[in-house]
Structure 1
Amino acid sequence: MQVKDSTFLITGAASGLGAATAERLVAAGARVVLCDLSDSVNAHALQLGASAQAVLADITSAEQMQQAVDAAVALGGERGLSGVVHCAGVVSVAKLVDRDGIPADLDSYKKTISINLVGTFNVMRLAAAAMAKNTPNESGERGVIINTASIAAFDGQVGQCAYSASKAGVVGMSLPAARELSRHAIRVMAIAPGVFETPMMSEIPDDAAQALAAAVPFPKRLGRPDEFAQLAEQIITNAMLNGELIRLDGGIRMQ
């Protein structure tokens, strides 16, 4: 699939991985709909120019995400929506039993699963329904879906039961979704980032961030959002990438 003149929906596009992906795709000649809950997504869309449009939407809402998908279809004109790069999500940390013997909050667990896993399914189903209506392009494709997992799906840390479970679910959906959507000529891929320079990472102490960077075998630093965006672009353009997860982590394996 060609990026130029195609239209993509980017969730979590106000900052971090989503914002970098939107920037890279626009630079390559794409049109993008930036979707986020934060009002700052409007300013980011303005910075990207006429090829970008912002939509405020909650990924767990069927109605709001349908509006975002509809906006992307409209922006794409005759070619419709060509792809989705789903970056929206949350990080949560809570021990099953804390030092005072109090069990983890169940509602907090449900919220993490709802946003990271149910939200991914919601975006995927609505985008796929729209892309299934596309006329196949010159290579026979109708669309591509790229979801964001995490190395926590495999190397979850203490306190990450909810987060790791939600991201493992994203990994688990990739192959069956790709198999199912193959009849519609829609590919499904997932990226599992390691430790990256994102707003989520800025919430942890500097010494902890430095320790994480030092744990990366090579390059010995945090990942850069544009490196995620670069991989997303490569997935879009390589039709043989389908039904698979790619770790993007510099070789780190969390202890």
Structure 2
Amino acid sequence: MKLAGQAAIVAGGASGLGAAAARHLESLGMNVGVIDLDPVEGLSFARADISDFGQVNAAVIALSERHGAPRLVLNTTGTGGSGLCTGPDAMVDSEVFRRVLLVNTLGSFNLVKAAGEVMAQAEPDEDGGRGVIVNTSSIVAMEGQIGTAPYAAAKGGVNAMTLPLAREFARHGIRIVTIAPGIFETPMFSNARGPMVDWLREQVVYPDRPGKAVEFAEMVAHIGCNAMLNGTVIRLDGAFRVPPGRYDWWER
């Protein structure tokens, strides 16, 4: 698929990996719209809480009316909610767990459903394709450390829905792909301090550094161009594998 001149939607495009991807796709000639809670200077914007399907659907329709049906849709929205579940230092209860699932897992489904309805009505390209929807997971879904049960479960749900959605959406010529990033230099991570953060930085094998946001953005663009990438979860992590972690990181 050729990206230049096509429409793209980036959910979570106001910050972090989403912002880097939105700017990179724009630099490649795409007409980019952002779904987030905060506007983005210079880009089309529609406000929505990703966990609310009605809001997400309205945002997708609004951006599609401005730029046409999207050929590339990216979701980078997410929330953490980490901590121990039991004992005197417990921070995670059922309500925390529920919110993490709503934003990460249900939110991903909401965008896929809303975008898929619009994309399925668009004219196919010469190969019968109508574009790709890219979700963002995490390597924590495969190797969650102590204290990440809600996040691991939520992102694991994103991984698990990738193949069945790809199989379903194939009849519309729409691909579904998930990226599972490792440690990346986003403002939130770069500004974090403490022994766990120092430990995480030391775990990347090669390159021996956290990923750059533009490297995530480049992967998104490559997925858009490469029609054989479908129904799969791609690790983007510099060979990082998450060790178990430590209890005392969560002690108060």
Match status 1:138 vs 2:126: yes
State the alpha-carbon separation in 2 of the partners of residues 198 and 81 from structure 1. Answer: 26
Q: Which residue of the partner structure matches residue 171 of structure 1?
A: 159
SS of 1:240 mapped into structure 2: coil
The reply to whether residue 35 of structure 1 matches residue 35 of structure 2 is: yes
**1:64-79 matched pairs, under 5 angstroms:** 64-77=55-68
TM-score by length of 2: 0.92
Amino acid at match of 2:56: M
| Structure 1, 180-189 or 66-75: larger mean CA deviation | 66-75
Question: Deviations for 1:95-125, whole angstroms, at most 9, x for unmatched residues?
Answer: 110335x583111110000000001001111
Give the equivalent residue in structure 1 for 2:78: 89
- Give the whole-Å Cα distance in 1 for the aligned partners of 2:93 and 2:146: 16
Q: Which moved more, 1:67-76 or 1:120-129?
A: 67-76
Distance apart, 1:2 and its partner CA? 1.1
For the residues of structure 2 that align with 1:25 and 1:172, how far apart are their CA atoms? 27
| Residue pair 1:217, 1:251 contacting (<8 A) in 2 also | yes
3-state DSSP of counterpart to 1:42: coil
Secondary structure at 1:239's aligned position in 2?
coil
Query: What secondary structure does 1:114 align onto?
Result: helix
Name the structure 1 match of 2:10.
10
Tell whether the 8 Å contact from 1:91 to 1:200 is kept in structure 2 after alignment: no
Could you give the per-residue CA deviations for residues 143-186 of structure 1, whole angstroms, max 9, x where no partner exists?
Answer: 21000000000110111110000000000000000000000100
Q: In the alignment, residue 30 of structure 1 is paired with which amino acid?
A: M
Which amino acid is the alignment partner of residue 176 of structure 1?
Answer: P
Of the three residues 56, 60, 70, the one matched with 2:47 is 56
Which portions of structure 1, spanning 4 or more consecutive aligned residues, are displaced by more than 6 angstroms?
none
Map Cα deviations across residues 77-108 of structure 1 (whole Å, 9 max, x no partner).
3xx221211001111212110335x5831111
- Which letter does structure 2 place at the counterpart of 1:200? M
Amino acid at match of 2:66: L
Identical columns (%): 40
Partner of 2:160, secondary structure, is: helix
Q: Which runs of 5+ in 2 are unaligned?
A: 244-252
TM-score (norm 1): 0.91
Deviates more, 1:64-73 or 1:190-199: 64-73
Q: Partner residue of 1:49? A: none
Specify the alignment match of 2:104 in structure 1: 116
1:203 is displaced (CA, Å) by 5.6
- Structure 1 runs not aligned, ≥5 long: 47-51
1:26 counterpart SS class: helix
2:207 to 214, 219, 239: 219
* 2:190 matches 1:205: no
What CA distance in whole angstroms lies between the structure 1 residues aligned with 2:26 and 2:117? Answer: 24
Q: Say whether the 8 Å CA contact 1:36–1:58 is kept in structure 2.
A: yes
The answer (yes or no) to whether the contact 2:83–2:91 under 8 Å persists in 1 is: no
Counterpart code for 2:40: N
Letter in 1 for 2:63: A
User: 2:81·2:92 contact (CA, 8 Å) conserved in 1?
Assistant: no
Residue 155 and residue 203 in structure 1: after superposition, are their counterparts in 2 closer, same or farther (change >3 A)? farther
* Larger CA deviation: 236-245 vs 67-76: 67-76
Q: In the aligned structure 1, how far is the partner of 2:126 from the partner of 2:62? A: 24
